[in-house]
Structure 1
Amino acid sequence: MFPKRYWFVFLIYVLMLVMTAVVPVILYFGFGIDPLEVAIYSNVVGFIIGPILVLLLMRKDLSQEKIAHPISAGRIIGWTALGVLLAWNTQAIAATIEIEFFGIDPSSENTEVIVEMTRMNPIFLLIPAISAPILEELIFRKIIFGSLYKKFNFFWGALISSLIFGVLHMDLTHTLIYTTMGFVFAYLYVQSKRIIVPILVHMTLNTVTVLAQLLIDPEQLEQIQNNAMFIFFGG
């Protein structure tokens, strides 16, 4: 189903995840080094090397996409702005459904870990802001969704790739949000025909989310979220 280079991409992704999880444990038990501090740097290194290797493996795919579907910088910006608005609206609706119908706590353990790591060392922001969106969109949208879309249709391609995307974030209580975001990213990829668009949208969403958690008072942030729910569902 996948070309050989794609399997190498998957292997790099798995090895990167294993490295970022195992290295802090080894250094802690072997040398008594603070595991959180090591986790920050091992993640940063892993999420820099990983995307670079993946981009090198996929340079032919990206070059072919660029030639087959030329698009101006203005259209990329326009699609990105539209995508961010669509993603925020969709995320707000999905979050409200989780809260109102399933009683799920709106806080995300995954986001809280990222925010805490960024507080400890701002260099960690490079991961959610830049490297993770590049890597995730290339794998989940370009490779997995793109391959499934050719064999099935948009719905099944987006659903399967989005569920995998959500599960691998290890935040299963918010599977609905991750799945709906996956649909948005897949839609933007199909409509723009360029993977750079969902990458930029993903970057923007992650950066704004983390910075909001860091810079806005928690009570004020909760009030903003409640106002968003009122707008969509009337309170």
Structure 2
Amino acid sequence: MKNTTNQLVTLLCYLVLSVVGTILSALSITGHAYFGIITILSLVATVAMIYLVQKSGKNEFELPKFNAKKFVTWVLIGAIGAILIQIGLTFVEQGLLHIATNSQNTASMLTQIKGYPYYMLYVLICAPIMEEIVFRRIFFADLIRPTNIYLAIIISSVLFAFMHQDTRFVIYLLMGAWFCFVYYKSKNIYASATSHIIMNLVVFGLSIV
């Protein structure tokens, strides 16, 4: 019951944060006030969600003790794999299918970060951590037992892709599946979260070069 309550509070934090932008826009709050509020709330929500993860304790397949070697290994595998998947899909879309690969979500966030640099704390750090906790540790992990690992990956990845509301649905679907794999193999939610952060930083760095 305690763990379920913590998960519900975690989901509530994520859902509230996901609609804050809409509420602020409806109130005609823009500029620094808009992005400042979202950044501050995301930092608070991230800290709260990490606290709830620690308070909940390990789930049934996470390692009882921290393994530094395993952690570093899967962080590197996760980050490199995520970047290679993006490169591979971009090659297929552009080179073979001649499909435009511009992500509306990424382009919009890059523009926002250029205007409000502190917003990168949310986009590049807080968002990946919260997404891993919600879509991997809650949805994916909790769906394994009542279904199976493959169905759990599919459901959590579809939800992950849907929440991004981007035209490049497939890339988010694949990223969701990949980070499920990293979490499952590393048995540490912070390994997949760190991989996710590194991937975001690399993509952001390449986008501004």
TM-score, normalised via structure 1 length: 0.80
Offset of 1:100 from its aligned partner?
5.1
Partner residue in 1 for 2:197: 203
The alignment status of 1:42 with 2:37, answered yes or no, reads yes
Residue 103 of structure 1 deviates from its aligned partner by 4.5
Read off the aligned partner of 2:37 and give its amino acid letter. S
CA distance in 2 between partners of 1:205 and 1:21 (Å): 27
Q: Is 1:193 the counterpart of 2:187 in the alignment? A: yes
Provide the C-alpha distance between the structure 2 equivalents of 1:99 and 1:10, rounded to a whole number of angstroms. 36
The alpha-carbon deviation at position 27 of structure 1 amounts to 3.9
Asked whether the 8 Å contact 1:69–1:193 carries over to 2, the reply is no
Whole-angstrom distance in 2 between the partners of 1:103 and 1:43: 37
Report percent identity of matched pairs: 23
Deviation at 1:53, TM superposition (A): 2.0
Of 72, 86, 90, the residue aligned with 1:95 is: 90
* Gap change, CA 1:99 and 1:24, over 3 Å in 2: same
1:148 to 1:20, Cα distance in 2 relative to 1, 3 A: same
RMSD after superposition = 2.3
Tell me which residue corresponds to 1:20.
21
Matches within 5 A, 1:53-132: 53-61=48-56, 63-64=57-58, 68-99=63-94, 103-132=98-127
1:152 equivalent to 2:147? Answer: yes
- Any stretches of 5+ residues in structure 2 without a counterpart? none
- Any conservation in 1 of the 2:63–2:187 contact (CA below 8 Å)? no
Aligned length: 207
* AA of the residue aligned to 2:194: L
Query: Closer, same or farther in 2 for the Cα pair 1:145/1:13, shift >3 Å?
Result: same
The Cα of 1:161 is off from its aligned counterpart by 0.4
* Larger RCO (alpha carbons 8 Å, 6+ apart): 2
Q: In the alignment, which residue of structure 1 is the partner of 2:171?
A: 177
Please list every run of 5 or more consecutive structure 1 residues that lacks an aligned counterpart in the other structure.
29-34, 217-235
CA radius of gyration, larger in: 1
**Residue type of the alignment partner of 1:17:** S
Structure 2 CA distance for partners of 1:197 and 1:68, relative to 1, 3 Å: closer
Q: CA deviation at 1:52?
A: 1.8
The structural deviation recorded for 1:98 is: 3.5
Q: Distance in 1 between matches of 2:62 and 2:168?
A: 37
Listed one character per residue, the Cα deviations across residues 164-190 of structure 1 (whole Å, up to 9, x for unaligned) are 10110110x211100111111011111
